[in-house]
Homo-oligomer: A and B are copies of this chain.
């Protein structure tokens, strides 16, 4: 017999063993009949215990999956709400410099009637832009007269004004913006020291 044949026969033998074990597991009553050392009652008790154990395992496997399922459902729901709440964040962040430039352009004084009428048209466009962004949840950070709040204010200058409270924002140097409860950009301010 060649080595190859020997190897094949071994494999066949192993497969047969595996199949036999599977048969035993699937039809466990057959096993009972071919194991004469135990009484039928004892064999059945063994099978019963084995089945009960398997059932317990199956039940805890189900419960674990059930917990995973509920977690997944809860987590995706939370994520969906957050994703929805801040959905416009990227675009709004990109619009902040547009708003800055818009305001700067509108601060230029119109010296002629021609320029004044153009400015009026542009102011209407600006207001419609503000309306669209605020509808999506964008709002400017309150500054002058407010107590300095490091969460929404960035102090870039200090001054001393004895007529006003210490720690009050004296002047806004650049507008800050929030998207709902999230700060997109803190306001740059001058604070009373």
Given A55-B51, A65-B62, A95-B129: A110 and B118 interface contact (C-beta under 8 Å): yes
Q: Does A98 contact B (CB under 8 A)?
A: yes
Chain B, residue nearest A128 (CB): B98
CB distance from A73 to the nearest CB of B (A): 7
CB distance from A157 to the nearest CB of B (A): 27
Pair A129/B41 contact, Cβ less than 8 Å: no
As for how many copies of this chain the complex holds, the number is 2
Q: Does A150 contact B (CB under 8 A)?
A: no
For the complex, give the distance between the alpha carbons of A176 and B29 in Å: 74
For the complex, give the distance between the alpha carbons of A58 and B98 in Å: 61
Pair B87/A83 contact, Cβ less than 8 Å: yes
Residue in B58, B110, B111, B128 whose beta carbon sits within 8 Å of that of A55 in the complex:
B58
Q: Does A180 contact B (CB under 8 A)?
A: no
16 sample A-B contacts, Cβ–Cβ < 8 Å, listed by A number: A48-B48, A65-B69, A72-B73, A91-B132, A91-B133, A94-B135, A98-B132, A101-B128, A102-B125, A105-B121, A105-B122, A105-B124, A108-B121, A110-B115, A118-B119, A122-B122
Which residues of A are at the interface with B, using a C-beta cutoff of 8 A?
29, 40-41, 44-45, 47-48, 51-52, 54-55, 58-59, 61-62, 65-66, 68-69, 72-73, 76, 79-80, 83-84, 87-88, 90-92, 94-95, 97-98, 101-102, 104-105, 108, 110-112, 114-115, 117-119, 121-122, 124-125, 128-129, 131-133, 135-136
